[in-house]
């Protein structure tokens, strides 16, 4: 089973590394770094904060969009060109196939993240900001975990929907996740209690801001390792839930 | 295209009371694709699966491959329910090119070999040799590193054949294998199928080309609106019409020969110049005539199934006749 999962992961990775979107993402990462450096240079105070606020915001944007796009496209493309039939006619269970897809997508996303990190680090060195601290690196890695969560969500949607719908649902889920905590915090006493309860539960269950701790790491007292682990655990649980539901959904239907 | 599994034991494929309903179309309601379909694809034989568009041929193939799940009934390979191990025995060549466009020809075959033939997992050299041999066999050696999306249609069909057979499957499912090929490539494809047939592979041939059916298949099943309407044999003992073309004999000469030798009556006689075409129902009568004509030194220019009569008969089944 592990061999079959590895083979599908390898194939998915091979297909994605030839995707034109990789080049676009790397260019976007480079431009982001340049923009963040320029913005920090132009400011007269809080230069490091501006550097990270602008840079990580753009990385968040680029990485999340790539994760949603790849997660939806990987299965959507296979379905559209019929390759899913060829892949699943092989001696592999649908769950293994799905896990292999996710693994290939995750490796591709992490490599893209590593490439963007190198560009960012080079930019920091050129701008005389030195080398990333452990805390800053941890925040970056947490952001990557957020991308992997979005990847799992998009894969879940793409298993049960067509590409365009899955992409739409993925973007919707991303926006909800980004704003849920802010909306919950902005509730007024006039909001009906039932609505408040729903929004708070949603904000607690699906909060993508949990993977964006750049503010907390730049300000004293920083972030404790225990708190960081909580966020990592939350991300891993979300990935496990999404993949489990995706595996269950893929068992039910017919292929193509 | 040589793997370790050189001694091949063919497996039969059987469908019993299979029903498949598609429920995804909200506007049209449930669509019954197959209704109580029972048919058998015997081990080591080539069986044609025919029917008009939408008759249920592709649904049948997808059910055997496990891509669709039946609503009722049983599908077995070699007497066992289809499991992952059973799927390892199958080679599948889809009608249109369904290989990922961004993989190279070599990557496609490597994936297929690693997935279907785990005995190669630890043998890099053997794996490489098998892939190179498969590429050479379908004359794609020079295009091994081309992306599938950049291959011509003929090359893509050859690659599809290579991926279907690289692991030496015991059951080979071919969906319109010669579709879109030029006459030369088509002949090559038919030769490859014949070679697989000789190796004793169980072949399921889904085709609209009746000539392919006559020349390749031992038997056939015809589907109409998801039901099996007729099954028949194309072997020498079947009730097909056979024709004999004999040169230099006219009707009166043939009649005299029949009377003298006690030959069975022909079904139809057509005379065109010096060539007489005799048609018979069944192999035995036609073979008796063939033997006698040859014994008397007459020149027999053709002997075989009457493709036109066969086609006419099949078209009646397609159209809904008896």
pLDDT digits (tens, 9 = 90+) for A177-193: 999 988 988 888 888 88
In chain A the beta strands, taken as DSSP E runs, fall at none
Q: Which of B196, B255, B223, B165 is nearest to B15 (CA)?
A: B223
Interface predicted TM-score of the whole assembly (ipTM), two decimals: 0.81
Name the nearest CA neighbour of A3 among A100, A88, A70: A100
Between helix A94-126 and helix A20-42 the angle, nearest 10°, is 30
Say whether residue B149 is in contact with chain A using an 8 A CB cutoff: no
CB contact at 8 A, B64 and B173: yes
- What is the rounded CA–CA span in Å between residue A114 and residue A196? 40
User: Residue B242 and residue B267: Cα distance in Å, rounded?
Assistant: 10
Beginning with the edge strand found earlier in the chain, give each strand of the sheet holding B72-77 in spatial order: B31-41, B13-22, B72-77, B80-81
B127: closest CA of chain A, how far (Å): 15
What average pLDDT does chain A have?
88
For B223-253, what is each residue's pLDDT tens digit? 988 899 888 887 666 667 888 999 888 888 8
**Is B101 part of the contact surface with chain A (CB cutoff 8 Å)?**
yes
Residue B103 at interface with chain A, using a CB cutoff of 8 Å: yes
Question: For residues B115-126, b (16+ Cβ closer than 10 Å) or e, as one string?
Answer: bbbeebeeeeeb
Q: What is the 3-state secondary structure (H, E, C) of A85-102?
A: HHHHCCCCCHHHHHHHHH
Contacts of A104 in chain B (CB under 8 A): none
pLDDT at A147 over 50: yes
Token pair of A233, please?
A: 């655990």
Binary contact (A91, B67; C-beta < 8 A):
no
Taking a contact as any Cβ pair under 8 Å apart, which residues of chain A between 48 and 87 contact chain B? 78, 81-83, 85-86
Contact B42, B187 (CB under 8 A): no
Query: For residue A251, what are the contacts with CB-CB under 8 A and spacing of at least 6?
Result: A94, A95
Chain A touched by B118 (CB under 8 Å): yes
- The residue among A193, A196, A204 whose CA lies nearest residue A234 is A204
Tokens, residue A51: 């550097």
- Asked if B94 lies within 8 A of A92 by C-beta distance, the reply is no
Nearest to A206 by CA among A229, A165, A237: A237
Q: What is the pLDDT of residue A68?
A: 95
CB pair distance less than 8 Å for A83 and B118: no
Q: Which residues of A touch B115 (CB under 8 A)?
A: 4, 7, 90-92
Q: Which of B84, B92, B103 sits opposite A92 (nearest CB)?
A: B84
Q: Does B115 touch chain A (CB under 8 A)?
A: yes
Mutate: best of A8, A85, A90, A92, partner B, most B CBs <10 A: A90
A15 touching B (Cβ < 8 Å): yes
Q: Could you tell me the pLDDT band of residue A40, with boundaries at 50, 70 and 90?
A: confident
Which residues contact residue B81 at a Cβ distance below 8 angstroms, ignoring those fewer than 6 apart?
Answer: B74, B75
| Structure tokens that stand for B284 in this block | 């035995």
Residues A36 and B205: their CA atoms lie apart, in Å, by 62
Report helix, strand or coil for B31.
Answer: strand
**d(C-alpha B307, C-alpha B322), whole Å:** 18
> Is B116's Cβ below 8 Å from some Cβ in A?
yes
Chain A residues closer than 8 Å to B103 by CB:
11, 14-15
A91 at B interface, C-beta within 8 A: yes
Distance between A60 CA and the closest CA of chain B, angstroms? 28
User: What does the pLDDT read at residue B321?
Assistant: 55
Q: CA A128, CA A35: separation in Å to the nearest integer?
A: 15
Cβ contact (<8 Å) for A81 and B114? no
Give the model's pLDDT for residue B2. Answer: 42
Minimum mean pLDDT among A18-22, A27-31, A60-64, B9-13: which range?
Answer: B9-13
For B143, other C-beta atoms within 10 Å of its C-beta total 19
Task: Provide, as residue numbers in chain A, all residues whose Cβ is less than 8 Å from the Cβ of B69.
Answer: 254
CB contact under 8 A, B115 and A18: no
A89/B65 touch (CB, cutoff 8 Å), yes or no = yes
Low-confidence ranges of chain B (pLDDT < 70): 1-10, 24-26, 120-122, 235-239, 320-322
Q: Which of B231, B229, B245 is nearest to B307 (CA)?
A: B245
Chain CA centroid to CA A119, Å? 19
- Of residues A252, A65, A21, A241, the one with CA closest to residue A159: A252
pLDDT per position as a tens digit, A120-145:
888 888 888 888 888 888 889 999 99
Q: Which phi-psi region, left, alpha or beta, contains residue B51 (left: φ > 0; alpha: ψ -120 to 50)?
A: left
Q: What pLDDT, in 10s, does the model give residues A212-253?
A: 887 776 676 667 888 889 999 999 999 999 999 999 988 876
Verify whether the Cβ–Cβ distance B112 to A90 is below 8 Å: yes
Give the residue from B67, B92, B103, B161 with the most A CB atoms within 10 Å of its CB, the best one to mutate.
Answer: B67
**Angstrom distances, CA of residue A99 to CA of A28, A152, A237, A239, B122:** 29, 10, 15, 11, 23
Q: How far apart are the C-alpha atoms of B8 and B26, rounded to whole Å?
A: 46
Q: Which residue of B has its CA nearest to A79?
A: B98
Bridge partners (DSSP) listed for residue B47: B204, B219
CB–CB contact A255 B67 (8 Å): yes
Q: Which of residues 153-192 of B touch A (CB under 8 A)?
A: 163
Cβ-defined contact of A256 to B100 (cutoff 8 Å): no
């Amino acid at each position: 089973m592990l061999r079959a999962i590895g083979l599908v992961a390898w194939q998915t990775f091979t297909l994605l590394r030839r995707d034109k979107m990789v080049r676009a993402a790397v260019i976007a990462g480079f431009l982001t770094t340049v923009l963040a450096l320029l913005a920090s240079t132009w400011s007269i105070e809080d230069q490091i904060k501006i550097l990270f606020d602008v840079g990580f915001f753009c990385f968040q944007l680029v990485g999340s969009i790539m994760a949603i796009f790849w997660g939806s496209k990987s299965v959507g493309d296979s379905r559209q060109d019929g390759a899913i039939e060829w892949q699943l006619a092989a001696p592999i269970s649908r769950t293994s196939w799905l896990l292999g897809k996710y693994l290939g997508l995750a490796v591709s996303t992490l490599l893209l993240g590593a490439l963007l990190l190198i560009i960012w680090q080079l930019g920091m060195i050129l701008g005389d900001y030195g080398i990333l601290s452990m805390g800053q690196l941890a925040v970056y890695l947490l952001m990557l975990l957020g991308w992997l969560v979005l990847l799992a969500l998009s894969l879940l949607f793409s298993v049960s929907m067509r590409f365009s719908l899955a992409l739409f649902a993925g973007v919707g889920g991303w926006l909800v996740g980004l704003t849920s905590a802010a909306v919950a915090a902005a509730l007024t006493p006039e909001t009906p209690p039932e609505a408040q309860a729903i929004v708070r539960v949603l904000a607690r269950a699906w909060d993508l801001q949990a993977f964006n701790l750049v503010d907390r790491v730049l300000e004293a007292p920083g972030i404790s390792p225990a708190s960081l682990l909580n966020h990592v655990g939350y991300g891993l649980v979300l990935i496990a839930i999404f993949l489990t539901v995706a595996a269950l959904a893929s068992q039910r239907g017919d292929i193509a | 295209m040589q793997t370790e599994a050189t001694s091949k034991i063919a497996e039969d494929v059987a469908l019993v009371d299979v029903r498949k309903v598609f429920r995804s179309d909200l506007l049209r309601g449930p669509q019954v694709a197959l209704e109580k379909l029972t048919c058998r694809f015997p081990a080591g034989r080539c069986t044609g699966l025919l029917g008009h568009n939408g008759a249920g041929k592709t649904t049948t193939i997808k059910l055997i491959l496990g891509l669709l799940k039946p609503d009722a009934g049983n599908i077995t390979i070699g007497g066992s329910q289809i499991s992952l191990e059973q799927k390892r025995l199958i080679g599948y060549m889809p009608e249109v090119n369904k290989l990922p466009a961004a993989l190279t020809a070599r990557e496609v075959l490597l994936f297929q070999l690693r997935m279907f033939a785990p005995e190669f997992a630890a043998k890099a050299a053997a794996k490489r040799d098998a892939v190179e041999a498969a590429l050479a066999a379908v004359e794609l050696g020079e295009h091994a590193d081309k992306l599938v999306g950049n291959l011509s249609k003929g090359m893509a069909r050859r690659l599809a054949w290579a991926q279907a057979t690289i692991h030496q499957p015991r059951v080979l499912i071919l969906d319109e294998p010669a579709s879109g090929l030029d006459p030369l490539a088509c002949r090559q494809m038919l030769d490859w199928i014949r070679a697989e047939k000789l190796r004793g592979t169980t072949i399921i041939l889904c085709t609209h080309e009746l000539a392919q059916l006559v020349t390749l298949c031992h038997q056939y099943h015809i589907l109409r609106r998801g039901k099996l309407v007729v099954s028949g044999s194309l072997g020498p003992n079947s009730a097909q019409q056979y024709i004999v073309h004999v040169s230099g004999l006219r009707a009166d000469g043939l009649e005299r020969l029949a009377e003298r030798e006690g030959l069975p009556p022909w079904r139809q006689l057509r005379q065109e110049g010096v060539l007489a075409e005799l048609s018979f129902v069944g192999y035995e009568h036609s073979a008796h005539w063939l033997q006698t004509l040859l014994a008397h030194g007459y020149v027999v220019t053709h002997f075989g199934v009457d493709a036109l009569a066969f086609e006419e008969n099949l078209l009646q089944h397609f159209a809904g006749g008896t």
